[in-house]
Every structure is written in C-alpha cells, then in structure tokens.
Chain A
Amino acid sequence: AQSVSQHNHHVILSEAASLELGCNYSYGGTVNLFWYVQYPGQHLQLLLKYFSGDPLVKGIKGFEAEFIKSKFSFNLRKPSVQWSDTAEYFCAVIFSGTYKYIFGTGTRLKVLA
C-alpha cells in the first residue's frame, strides 16, 4: 500500500541549531513531493514542492529538501532554526497515476529561544 512515514514525531532544538526532518514513502513509481507547515493556531501552508529536475529544492523561510529516489526519501532541512519555526511539519506525496494526496503523521518541532 502507498504510505508516507515521518519517523521523528517530536523534535526539540535550540535556536541556531540545524534541522533535518525525515520523510520516506513506499512506492516505486513517479511521485510529487511536498512539505507543509502548520504554525500554532494556523492553517497548513506549503513550504516547498518537488515535481522533477534538480532533486534539491528550496522553499520559503530558508527551508530546503532533497529528493533521493534510491532511498524513497524527501528530507526537510534548515541550516539554522529560529524560535518562529516552532510548528508542525507534514510531508505529503501524490502518486503518479492517482490523485491520492497522502500525508505523513507530522513532526512537531519546538525551538527553544
């Protein structure tokens, strides 16, 4: 079955620390990949997306993600987090040939000032 896994459920970092959140999917075909963020009390918003081309994609607010096809992974990174990055982060995948848009379980990030 098609699925998306986020292994880090809760992450706590100090400001200026580097961030990497894992995302893996189970599907051997073509996928489109997304990271969304949900700040406390707010709606989901798109951080970045990957459709094709350069596997390293840059998004808003200094976030980037790398698609590694051989590992079925799309990890989110940020070199130096800020207190304002405290939020829940969701990886999402849409599988080629379907319109199924599947989300991971989310990672709650808390950044300590």
Chain B
Amino acid sequence: SQTIHQWPATLVQPVGSPLSLECTVEGTSNPNLYWYRQAAGRGLQLLFYSVGIGQISSEVPQNLSASRPQDRQFILSSKKLLLSDSGFYLCAWSVDNSPLHFGNGTRLTVT
C-alpha cells in the first residue's frame, strides 16, 4: 500500500536560519508531489508541485524553494527563514488526477 512520510512534525527555528522539510512516498512510482501551506482562513495555498524528478513548478514567489532529487522524495527549503514563513506545511501526492494523499504535516514556528 502507498504511504507518505513527512518530517519533522514540529519545528521551531529562529529568523534567518535555514529550513529543510522532507517528504517521501512509498508504494507508488512517478507520483505528482505537492507542497502546501495551510493557514486559518486561507485554506491550502499551493506552494510547489512536481510531476517528475528535477521538475518543479512554483506557484508563490517567496523565499522558499523545492527540490525533487529522487522520484519519491520532495524537499522544501529556505536559506533564510522569515517570521511570515510560520505555518503548517503539508506534503501530498497523487497519480494522474486522482485525489490527493496528504502527509501528517509540519508545524513550523519561526521565532
């Protein structure tokens, strides 16, 4: 069966520090991978998505970036965090246009 792992579950980082959130999918090949940020009253904001290794589409200009070094690995990064980067980050996958399968999320607090 397919599973998605996202870590860490919570993270507290100071302003200006780097960020690396990792997401891996098991049990499926060539998934479409997504990073979202969920904030109260704003729904799920699509940050990045990828349809293949090394292919990244960015939806929101900001100081975050994403990479897909392997077929089932998706990484969200920042060189220098801002206070406004605080939030709940969700990784998700799908195949073709099937419903999304979500990870457990990462609660990021930038202090």
Min CB distance A50 to B, Å, is 11
Asked, given contacts A9-B41, A94-B97, A105-B41, whether A99 binds B102 with beta carbons under 8 Å apart, the answer is: no
Within 41-78 of B, Cβ neighbours of A (below 8 Å) are at 41-46, 49, 51, 57, 59
Give the A-B pair count, Cβ closer than 8 A.
48
Whether, in the assembled complex, B86 has its beta carbon less than 8 Å from a beta carbon of chain A, the answer is no
Count of chain B residues with a beta carbon within 8 Å of a chain A beta carbon: 22
Q: Say what secondary structure dominates the interface of chain A.
A: strand
Count of chain A residues with a beta carbon within 8 Å of a chain B beta carbon: 20
Q: Which residue of chain B is the closest to A32 with respect to CB atoms? A: B97
Asked if residues B43 and A100 are in contact (CB atoms below 8 Å), the reply is no
Min CB distance A30 to B, Å, is 10
Min CB distance A108 to B, Å, is 9
Whether, in the assembled complex, B32 has its beta carbon less than 8 Å from a beta carbon of chain A, the answer is yes
The interface of chain B, by Cβ under 8 A from chain A, is: 32, 34, 36, 41-46, 49, 51, 57, 59, 90, 92, 94, 97, 99-100, 102, 104-105
